[in-house]
Structure 1
């Protein structure tokens, strides 16, 4: 076989701009490996690229996908054996070079994370970017500690659900938001202690539970809700800006003294494969396999359903990770 099926974005635009085509199977350059993709998760980063928000670094046509899960098909360096289970993410995937929306993808060897698991490929495909973002936000971004309180703004997103699972495993009290009361059960299933219905003013609800505010807050919605999230956080507490579910990134006419409440600390997180250590990934997989942790998956699609999957992601109606499973 010399060709593979891949999802190609010819130019920014609607889901109709996503096309399944037969492409030549890529050949790994020196220092790169080729992965047989078994599954991949959908991410809003790919939605942003499709809509044209990713900036001039992206060239077209492009195979999207900032993550992939599968097995090593060819590693010229000999570092990984053929058939080794691996995950890969970020590093320019789906932007500066072709990504994971394909039967095969080539990536730099340094952004490959090996693992061993008997979990099904759909479950495994949901994990890389979701876990890396949640873990990195809680550790690098917020440096959370046991017995602290955490607010997750955008709690029913896949990263929000994963963050709640990780935080509960570390012994935190978790408050998570959702705009839809119908999604409250999904939050409780992830272990959330206090479900808050987001009507735009969450801070008063937080302070009705914790009068001084939360110790840490993870902002996944974006700049429209960031001021209210800051107001929900205690003096010397930390807010980490990680997500942009709203598709709004910037703050117009930013004046820090007026914008940030006195004594509250604001940071941000974005990461790559290096922020997901092998032992952290393996422990998470082992916990899932043992039933101690749940991977929040909303729906699994086939490659032929990629437009339907992107439309659901864009609608904001998903209750967890959307995954594409390859044959």
Structure 2
């Protein structure tokens, strides 16, 4: 198979032995792989793969099932699928636990489907399962045009929630509106806390999906409604911050902080099953769709990482073998 190695931080396309599916696994012939910030962090040495995972970059793929490992009965060779991986996506073949595979509807382009698994599982496990966002509630999404944020906007609107986003610059603000955001805030020129409180009549939002981390902890709490929840899924501004526990208790607020990659297989299986039950109907009817910024050949993985680093993406960069 062809795969990207990242020795000494250099992304290089190489020929490697074909992987074989083990018990409970499927072998996917990759149509596309999604590029995520975790891949960039792994190259930098800050996010190593969990024990037993492939050292190859790539946490999500789409493609067709090429072979089944022992004990796999829910999938067949030739099935159109997308999947959540702990590693191994930047390749022409990838081995995936069968419990982390999702069907790609015939109405959906197979390459574009690679933009869905990581975002769908991250957003739903945090905003749906932990925070319990419900129809009629209000969600604040920081980074509303990124891979996670764009999916969160589409899913929450399909659910029946009100969605507020923050992003930087007029182009991204307009993109958030185009995705369906009810209010799109330019964090470069506006105070998002003041904008949120004005829009909600002083009440605040029920859930915050945060990719910023330490710098936004206090401000997220200010923007939160009573009994609200802050779900932190990244810490781009730093890992350590201060929080006013008195203000948190007064609002009866809760905060969670999670990663997905290193979770045990049974937890990932439960998340994927929940996504299939509660998110996939919106994918099938078209209300939730992949948001793709650009598609590059696998050999140009370094360019994909550069595009992600410059912060101007709307949706996901995909790599095709």
- Give how far 1:118 is off: 3.6
Structure 1 unpaired stretches of 5+: none
In structure 2, which of residues 286, 294, 301 is the aligned counterpart of residue 299 of structure 1? 294
In structure 2, which of residues 270, 283, 286 is the aligned counterpart of residue 285 of structure 1? 283
Measured in 1, the distance between the counterparts of 2:123 and 2:175 equals: 17
- Give how far 1:281 is off: 5.2
Q: Is the 8 A contact 1:201 1:228 kept in 2?
A: no
In structure 2, which of residues 29, 44, 47 is the aligned counterpart of residue 51 of structure 1? 44
Question: Which region of structure 1 is more displaced relative to structure 2, 185-194 or 208-217?
Answer: 208-217
Measured in 2, the distance between the counterparts of 1:275 and 1:101 equals: 23
Structure 2 unpaired stretches of 5+: 261-267
- Give how far 1:294 is off: 3.8
**Structure 1 counterpart of 2:169:** 180
**Structure 2 counterpart of 1:81:** 76
Pair 1:114–1:202, CA change in 2 (3 A)? same
Question: Which region of structure 1 is more displaced relative to structure 2, 74-83 or 189-198?
Answer: 74-83
**Structure 2 counterpart of 1:220:** 211
SS at match of 1:217: strand
Question: Which region of structure 1 is more displaced relative to structure 2, 78-87 or 21-30?
Answer: 78-87
**Structure 1 counterpart of 2:58:** 65
The runs of 4+ residues in structure 1 deviating greater than 6 Å are 58-61
SS at match of 2:151: helix
**Structure 2 counterpart of 1:274:** 270
- Give how far 1:129 is off: 0.8
Measured in 1, the distance between the counterparts of 2:269 and 2:305 equals: 24
TM-score (norm 1): 0.86
Query: Given the alignment of the two structures, is residue 257 of structure 1 paired with residue 253 of structure 2, yes or no?
Result: no
**1:74-121 deviation per Cα after TM superposition (whole angstroms, max 9, x unaligned):** 11325222111222214xx22xxxx11000011223322334424222
Pair 1:60–1:26, CA change in 2 (3 A)? closer
Pair 1:121–1:196, CA change in 2 (3 A)? same
SS at match of 1:266: strand
Measured in 1, the distance between the counterparts of 2:292 and 2:49 equals: 32
How many residue pairs match? The answer is 307
Q: Is the 8 A contact 1:89 1:273 kept in 2?
A: no
Q: Is the 8 A contact 2:218 2:244 kept in 1?
A: no
RMSD: 2.4
**Structure 2 counterpart of 1:33:** 26
Pair 1:61–1:233, CA change in 2 (3 A)? closer
Measured in 1, the distance between the counterparts of 2:178 and 2:56 equals: 35
Q: Is the 8 A contact 1:167 1:174 kept in 2?
A: yes
SS at match of 1:69: strand
Pair 1:229–1:285, CA change in 2 (3 A)? same
Query: Given the alignment of the two structures, is residue 9 of structure 1 paired with residue 6 of structure 2, yes or no?
Result: yes
Q: Is the 8 A contact 1:190 1:294 kept in 2?
A: no
**Structure 1 counterpart of 2:108:** 119
**1:261-316 deviation per Cα after TM superposition (whole angstroms, max 9, x unaligned):** 7322212344435313333454233122xxx3442211111112111111101111
Measured in 1, the distance between the counterparts of 2:152 and 2:53 equals: 33
- Give how far 1:325 is off: 2.3
Q: Is the 8 A contact 1:239 1:266 kept in 2?
A: yes
